[in-house]
């Protein structure tokens, strides 16, 4: 069986990993997986249902039967376009909480791995290179300071017409970093074999340029 080549882009919220991973996928003509969307949709479902984090079995059942689909860039939850609402920091925090549940991560593991299809996959998330695709050909860990990430998220949300407070946003990002990096299962950490990039003082074009140099060299070494 021929293994599909995978490139992973991991990092904290607001680091630019989603934008970077999507550009890499487009450049290579590979498939793209935004793993965060899966957890954000589940977080939205849990918020709407008013379920507490202690109800693990119920949340796990929701993860297994999530009516999630994609249509021309839109994220659909049982036919409803939730593309905008899942990008709010409130839902991001809800996603972080459900993602800390081992049973939920196990339920969604196969779903994510099945996304690896020919000619290749670029996957972005928090544990793509450490847990979901440990065999990935290239692993990139992208980060930036909490303050810079909050500024980026603030700008994105304001452009979408969503109300947001910068100070609160910065605090939420720090809280999420703390929770994601210290959770018992699949914590947010760089794989030992990952190339680490700090985008704090870089434009997305500069980050993309460095990432493509890394990828080009790595893929050339593999093919030679």
Q: Has 19 been labeled as part of a binding site?
A: yes
Q: Has 29 been labeled as part of a binding site?
A: no
Q: Has 11 been labeled as part of a binding site?
A: yes
The SS3 of residue 143 is: strand
The number of residues making up the chain comes to: 224
Q: Has 14 been labeled as part of a binding site?
A: yes
- Give the pairing type, strands 74-77 and 121-125: unpaired
Q: Has 18 been labeled as part of a binding site?
A: yes
The number of angstroms, rounded, from the C-alpha of 94 to the middle of its chain's C-alpha atoms is: 14
Q: Has 83 been labeled as part of a binding site?
A: no
Place of tokens 């790595």: 218
Q: Has 15 been labeled as part of a binding site?
A: yes
Whole-number Å distance between alpha carbons of 122 and 30: 7
Identify the CA nearest to 62 among candidates 47, 82, 75: 47
Instruction: Return the DSSP state at 54.
Output: T
**179, 39 in Cβ contact below 8 A?**
no
Whole-number Å distance between alpha carbons of 37 and 162: 19
In the annotated binding site, the residues are 11-19
In the annotated binding site for ATP, the residues are 11-19
């Amino acid at each position: 069986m021929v293994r599909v080549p995978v490139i992973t882009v991991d990092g904290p919220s607001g680091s630019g990993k989603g934008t970077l991973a999507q550009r890499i996928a487009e450049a290579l003509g590979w498939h793209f997986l935004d793993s965060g969307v899966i957890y954000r949709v589940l977080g939205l479902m849990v918020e709407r249902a008013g379920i507490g984090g202690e109800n693990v079995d119920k949340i796990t059942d929701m993860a297994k039967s999530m009516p999630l689909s994609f249509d021309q860039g839109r994220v659909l939850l049982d036919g409803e376009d939730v593309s905008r609402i899942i990008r709010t920091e409130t839902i991001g925090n809800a996603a972080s909480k459900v993602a800390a549940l081992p049973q939920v991560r196990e339920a969604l593991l196969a779903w994510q791995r099945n996304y690896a299809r020919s000619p290749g996959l670029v996957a972005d998330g928090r544990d793509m290179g450490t847990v979901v695709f440990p065999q990935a050909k290239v692993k990139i860990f992208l980060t930036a300071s909490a303050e810079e990430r909050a500024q980026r998220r603030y700008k994105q949300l304001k452009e979408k017409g969503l109300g947001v407070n910068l100070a609160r946003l910065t605090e939420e990002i720090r809280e999420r970093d703390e929770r994601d990096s210290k959770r018992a299962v699949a914590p947010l950490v760089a794989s030992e074999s990952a190339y680490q990039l700090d985008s704090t003082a870089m434009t997305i074009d500069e980050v993309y340029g460095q990432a493509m140099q890394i990828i080009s060299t790595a893929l050339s070494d593999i093919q030679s």
